[in-house]
Amino acid sequence: MRWMLAFIPLAGCVVYETERPTPPPEPAPVNRAPYFEWGGAGCYWDRVEQDSIWFFEAEVGDPDGVLDVVAIHADVYDGISGHWADSFELFPTQYADYWFSDWLGRTTYLSCDYRHYLADLTVIDAFGDFTIVTVEPYTDF
């Protein structure tokens, strides 16, 4: 029996280490570009300020949710020459899909008397996707 005890420490098992398969990568998030429901721009005379007021507004949506929209801006160009005239930021309102801003005429490079402007409204989402729409500003002059 003593000889059996001598062989017990020699008994064992063989362990083979195999490489674990690499899991597939996580799919990249799918982002869809925001869009405009409508957009507008224009100029009117304000009697209190004794100045023209330029306004820019937009109602936007996003297939990923309207809170994915992070910025909207307007770039105004001369519709005849194509030269840039001024840029404006739009701000969110109490309604998540509606953005607006207005500016005193004396703070801009624009003139309400000039009727050949075009405004590019650009909506940008959190992933950098964007959509541009061009509108012709309305004036009551």
Lookup: tokens for 82: 């194509």
What secondary structure does DSSP assign to 55-81, as a single string?
Answer: EEEEEEE-TT-GGGEEEEEEEEEETTT
Model confidence at 45, in pLDDT bands (50, 70, 90)?
very high
Percent above pLDDT 70 for the chain: 89
Q: Is the confidence at residue 82, as pLDDT, over 80?
A: yes
CA–CA dist 14, 53 (Å, integer): 85
pLDDT at residue 140 in the model: 77
Q: What average pLDDT does the structure give for the chain?
A: 90
CA geometry: angle 52, 56, 57, nearest 5 deg: 140
Token pair 């002059």 in the structure block, residue: 141
Lookup: tokens for 61: 């949506």
Model confidence at 18, in pLDDT bands (50, 70, 90)?
confident
pLDDT digits (tens, 9 = 90+) for 96-110: 999 999 999 999 999
Q: State pTM to two decimals.
A: 0.79
pLDDT at residue 4 in the model: 53
C-beta of residue 43 within 8 angstroms of C-beta of residue 105: yes
C-beta of residue 84 within 8 angstroms of C-beta of residue 69: no
pLDDT at residue 19 in the model: 79
Q: Any idea which of 10-14, 86-90, 122-126 has the lowest mean pLDDT? A: 10-14
